[in-house]
Amino acid sequence: MAEVVLFHHAQGLTPGVEAFAAELRRAGHTVHVPDLYEGRTFETLEQGIGYASRTGFGTVLERGIAAAEPLGDEVVYAGFSLGVMPAQRLAQTRVGAKGALLVSACLPVSEFGEAWPAGVPVQVHGMDGDPFFADEGDLDAARELTAGADHAELFLYPGKQHLFADSSLPSYDRAAADLLTRRVIEFLDGLR
């Protein structure tokens, strides 16, 4: 089974992120969920983004990289929204990455290198009407990444919610989250 490090979104390490990790564990995978906010969670996305901005997005990114440091090389890097920053960077730059799962965000591949690394499978998930994902360049970056990578899939879900997979938030979309979870588990089960 796969070893996964899952990075939380801008509202922090919420019960919904923990619940998603628990689903992956029930499927037999090892999942690490570092707290990049040092115990803080936020009621709204705006409050969480404000905290990340005050702390420094670079600091949040470095906390994620540091959290992955003690893990072995053969890890799947996963992130929700803000958590995509460390997940994508590690998947693109850390030798031995087994894969990447990018949910509700995607950065241009050029942010962390010239191309997506050969042999590193990736899935990108987002809602087609999410203003953060669809309207701020993430969807374009996801299309570019998946077109240029060997083993890449882009999954779009109908809706406008940004953090649709977090069961502890009002933005939760159960049908989309269930489908995403099934696809992620199939992805992880298929890794050798």
DSSP string, 80-139: EGGGHHHHHHHHHHSTT--EEEEES----GGGTSSSPPTT--EEEEEETT-HHHHHSSHH
| pLDDT tens, residue by residue, 85-125 | 999 999 999 999 999 999 999 999 999 988 899 999 999 99
- What are the helix and strand counts (H, E) for the chain? 7, 6
What is d(CA 23, CA 83) in angstroms, rounded to the nearest whole number?
A: 18
Per-residue pLDDT, 192: 67
Per-residue pLDDT, 67: 95
What is d(CA 55, CA 187) in angstroms, rounded to the nearest whole number?
A: 33
Per-residue pLDDT, 147: 93
Per-residue pLDDT, 178: 98
| Fold designation for 3-189 | Rossmann fold (3.40.50)
Residue 156: exposed, middle, or buried by beta-carbon count in 10 A (0-12, 13-18, 19+)? middle
What is d(CA 48, CA 42) in angstroms, rounded to the nearest whole number?
A: 5
Per-residue pLDDT, 72: 86
Per-residue pLDDT, 173: 97
What is d(CA 87, CA 5) in angstroms, rounded to the nearest whole number?
A: 8
- Report the greatest alpha carbon distance in the chain: 40
The residues near 110 (Cβ < 8 Å, ≥ 6 apart) are none
What is d(CA 67, CA 26) in angstroms, rounded to the nearest whole number?
A: 23
Token code pair at residue 139? 């969807």
Residues in the chain predicted with pLDDT less than 70, given as ranges, are 192
Is the sign of the CA dihedral 67, 133, 185, 101 positive or negative? negative
- Confirm if 64 and 83 have CB atoms less than 8 A apart: yes
